[in-house]
Amino acid sequence: MRLKELRKSRKISQLKLALDLNMNQNSISRYENGAREADYSTLIKFADYFDVSIDYLLGRTDNPTFFK
Tens digits of residue pLDDT in 38-53: 999 999 999 999 999 9
Give residue 67's pLDDT.
60
Contact 32, 4 (CB under 8 A): yes
Give residue 27's pLDDT.
97
Residue in 30, 32, 7 with CA at minimum distance from that of residue 17: 7
Residue in 35, 6, 9, 63 with CA at minimum distance from that of residue 21: 6
Task: Map out the domains of the chain with their CATH numbers.
Answer: 3-57 (1.10.260.40)
Quote the CA–CA distance of 10 and 50 in Å, as a whole number.
9
Contact 10, 64 (CB under 8 A): no
Pairwise pLDDT comparison (65 vs 56), residue with the higher score: 56
pLDDT average, residue stretch 11-32: 98
Give residue 63's pLDDT.
87
